[in-house]
Structure 1
Amino acid sequence: MQFGYSEVCLAHDPGPRHPETPDRLRAIRERLKRKHGVEYVEADPVGFDDIASVHDRSYVEDVEEFCAEGGGNWDPDTTAVEETWDAIRYSAGQATWAIEQALEGNTGRETPFSIGRPPGHHAVVDDAMGFCFVNNVAVAAQQALEDDAYDVDRVAIVDWDVHHGNGTQDIFYDREDVFFVSIHEKGLYPGTGQIDESGEGDGERTTMNLPMPAGTDDVDYLAAVEGPIATALEAYDPDLLIVSAGFDAHRHDPISRIRLSTEAYALLTDRLRGLADRTDAALAFVLEGGYGLDVLADSVSIVHETFDGREPIEPDDDEEVSDDAASVIADVADEHGLEVDVGAVGEAGDDSHGDDDLEG
Structure 2
Amino acid sequence: MRIGDRVSGDTSAASRATHGSSTSTESSSDAPGDSFLARSRATVLAYVALTKPRVIELLLVATIPVMLQADRGHVDIALIAATLLGGWLGAGSANTLNMVADADIDQKMKRTARRPLARHAVSTRSALVFGIVLWIGSFGVLWWAANLLSALLVTATIAFYVGVYTMILKRRTWQNVVWGGAAGCMPTLVGWAAVTGTIGWQPIVLFLVIFFWTPPHTWALAMRYKEDYRAAGVPMLPVIATEERVTRQMLFYTWATVISSLVLVLATSWIYGAVAVLAGAWFASRVHKLYKETRAGAEVAPLKIFLQSNEYLAILFCGLAIDAVVNLPLITSYF
Alignment TM-score, normalising by the size of structure 1: 0.27
* Larger fraction in helix: 2
The higher radius of gyration belongs to 2
Alignment TM-score, normalising by the size of structure 2: 0.29
* Larger fraction in strand: 1
